[in-house]
Amino acid sequence: MGNKTIARKIAMAASIPMAMGSEGNIGDEEEAVAIAEKIGYPVIIKAASGGGGRGMRIVRKSDEMEKLFLIASKEAEKAFNDPSVFIEKYIENPKHIEFQILGDKKGNIIHLGERECSIQRKHQKLLEEAPSAALDDTLRDTMGKLAVEIARAVKYHSAGTVEFLLDSEKNFYFMEMNTRIQVEHPVTEVITGIDLIEQQIRIANGEALKYRQEDIKLKGWAIECRINAEDVQSGFAPDPGKIEKLSLPSDPYIRIDTGIQAGSTIVPSYDSMIAKLIVRGKDRKEAIKNCKMALDKVWIKGTKTTLPFFRLLVRNQKFQDGSFTTAFIEDLDKYYFNSEYEEMLAAWLATKLFIEENLMDNSINIDFENGKEMSPWLLNKRINQF
């Protein structure tokens, strides 16, 4: 399933809804134009062996195809050592919904509900939550069963994720299957109480799943923010450097997965993510409230991060009412830099300066409950508290 054109063929054979597109890889830009004109613009070029947003370009008219086809192919070859690309009809302003799968070597396969992954930049996820406010129980059941069918079609065993696009009319389309554990898996752990890494190891050891589909109950709500060393004002460009000071909270509704500490050097050779902040709540409203409080307690000095963006995001009306789509960040210029947000950003900067000058020291992490230093590895072990 790592090859997306093969995955499309498997999904098609299993009668899974998909966006129209090429049956296989595209040979050249002329073939790409012919297919695009057949299915209608806009289309999206995707790397057949790709992931993480690389090797993808949206084409809205035929005179853009030659340039963008070559860019996507070269990017795919550089990232995946495979220049192969294919084309799909581009779904405008969708939701990105994925289902967590567990399958054992004895043929048992279940899903653990969905994750909402629509807050993205450059086709890469920034914030995830579980469950999704866009799905009711009926749609969740339908999509979940089809996700299991895809996994069953390839006799999948391990933890994996089946990803869909959901349009404004609640039509959904298979996008891909990721045959691995994903960055955002903690939000599923929070709402199910199931340690996915433990299950992955047990499955690899030949054990049968101890859960049936009817055993999976979704309880509460979880949100994950990917704290990246990036300059949001420069289009989320990487901002490597040394972590001079770091303060992380340890409230019972918070889980932090990280390996950094004060003195760590963030190098440009690796992914820019330096920590994951996961919060829980009894419902989405409480989870957002807790996310606001948690973000206010995280302070990192020495490199620019996505923290200021998240502090504004969780206060944004589109995010709070759940009406956002994958186009959210592209549309930020419509409301992100208006006077309301400029004032809010100025207030945050003033608060940040006060914290840095008056409260922060050289501690690795500060436990806000008792003022003691905490290892970042201890902060990772919070799933049982959820």
Tell me which residues are annotated as active site: 180
Closest to 119 in 3D by CA, of 192, 228, 43: 228
- Cβ contacts of residue 332 below 8 Å, gap of 6+? none
Residue 45 CA to residue 85 CA, distance in Å, equals 6
Contact call for residues 128 and 223 (beta carbons, < 8 A): yes
Residue 165 CA to residue 220 CA, distance in Å, equals 24
Closest to 128 in 3D by CA, of 176, 187, 178: 187
Tokens of 328: 């959210």
Q: 245 — phi, psi (to 5°)?
A: -140, 150
Contact call for residues 101 and 159 (beta carbons, < 8 A): yes
DSSP strands (E only) in 287-345:
299-301
Contact call for residues 127 and 314 (beta carbons, < 8 A): no
Q: Kindly tell me the sign of the dihedral angle through the C-alpha atoms of 330, 345, 52, 109.
A: negative
Q: Kindly tell me the sign of the dihedral angle through the C-alpha atoms of 183, 184, 185, 189.
A: positive
Contact call for residues 279 and 222 (beta carbons, < 8 A): yes
DSSP-assigned beta bridge partners for residue 176? 163
Let me know how long the chain is: 386
DSSP 3-state assignment of 377? Answer: helix
DSSP-assigned beta bridge partners for residue 100? 161
Quick one: DSSP state of residue 176?
A: E
DSSP 3-state assignment of 325? Answer: coil
Give pairs for 14-18: CB < 8 Å, separation 24+: 14/146, 14/149, 14/150, 14/153, 16/146, 16/149, 16/150, 16/174, 17/146, 17/171, 17/172, 17/173, 17/174, 18/88, 18/173, 18/174
